[in-house]
């Protein structure tokens, strides 16, 4: 039997319609813009122009309604990357105002409005180091430190 994630992905395989005729956010590669990132049921919309983002949010609201889906606006947020403005536009989804934040987490990666990679690295490094310590402790408790092949297998 197919998993929920697979069924959901098949159900929303046409979600790209919300980004039709939208330029999206610029990237470090010339002529490459990203309008959205989708993994399973996690969706992130990106745009450089506030009007374009609001258009995608309006389309997402209509899309969800058409498909019988509910977007959890309490888990939805807006981050204005590299914004120097003190007043940022208000964005809405289905009549609900979305929260403005300085960062958000997408698939375990922290994105900050200043593109602070140190914060993202620190966020990922802490659990990694904790995992390494647990592996080392396990190896010590089971006297596996003199068996390199075991240590390599644990570190995979």
Tell me the mean pLDDT per 10 residues along the chain, length 156.
69 87 84 85 86 94 92 88 74 92 78 67 72 81 72 56
The pTM (predicted TM-score) of the whole model is 0.69
Q: Are 18 and 54 in contact (CB under 8 A)?
A: no
SS3 27: coil
């Amino acid at each position: 039997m197919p998993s929920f994630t697979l069924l959901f992905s098949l159900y929303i395989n046409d979600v790209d319609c919300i980004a039709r005729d939208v330029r999206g956010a610029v990237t470090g590669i010339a002529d490459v813009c990203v309008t959205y990132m989708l993994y399973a049921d996690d969706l992130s919309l990106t745009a450089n122009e506030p009007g374009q983002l609001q258009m995608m949010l309006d389309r997402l609201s209509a899309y969800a309604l058409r498909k019988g889906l509910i977007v959890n606006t309490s888990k939805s947020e807006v981050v204005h990357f590299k914004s120097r403005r003190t007043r940022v536009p208000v964005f809405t989804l289905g009549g609900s105002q979305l929260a403005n934040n300085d960062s958000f987490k997408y698939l375990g990666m922290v994105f900050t409005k200043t593109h602070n990679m140190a914060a993202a690295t620190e966020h990922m490094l802490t659990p990694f180091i904790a995992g390494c310590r647990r592996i080392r402790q396990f190896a010590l408790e089971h006297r596996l430190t003199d068996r390199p092949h075991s240590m390599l297998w644990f570190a995979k």
